[in-house]
Amino acid sequence: MSLYIETETEVSFSFEWEKLAEEVINFTIDHEKFPYEAEINLTLTDNEGIHEINKTYRQIDRPTDVLSFPMLSYETAGDFLKLEDDYDDNFNPDTGEIMLGDILISVEKVREQAESFGHSEKREFAFLIVHSMLHLFGYDHMTPEEAAVMEAKQNEILNEMNILR
């Protein structure tokens, strides 16, 4: 797995956030039984930066906590069977890894939400990465049924990693 990290703001968490990001991404890939080596881009930004991206790409004029930009489309979330046949263009020719997509996280929102929800910044950061990885695997939360599946997976992954509230 290749993880490319970019920071657009100061990141001064009290935990080893780069190591945690890699662990959470790898664990989620294994948990979901993703059958390929993957390439993921992670950008940490501030509220202003994520606000602009949210406005540009989603027409939502406010900052958000995390944005996911999947490179793949799925008929069924988490069904990876057709990826090799349908997505030759999504494999990096230099590494052979499939390009899953981009994750953008607002460092300010991590802090705000951790305080608001009464848990650690580490837990919030890990949660946002799991949430975004599930989006990169085709999961969504637009309907109550989809949300229930996604929430159950998020909780299961974080509990198995012992990253608790």
Say yes or no to pLDDT of 43 above 70: yes
Please tell me the predicted confidence (pLDDT) of residue 56: 96
3-class secondary-structure state, position 110? helix
Say yes or no to pLDDT of 83 above 90: no
Please tell me the predicted confidence (pLDDT) of residue 84: 65
Region 106-125: mean pLDDT is 97
3-class secondary-structure state, position 138? coil
Q: Which residue has the higher pLDDT, 121 or 79?
A: 121
Please tell me the predicted confidence (pLDDT) of residue 86: 60
CB 45 within 8 A of CB 11: no
Sign of the dihedral through C-alpha 153, 156, 159, 161? negative
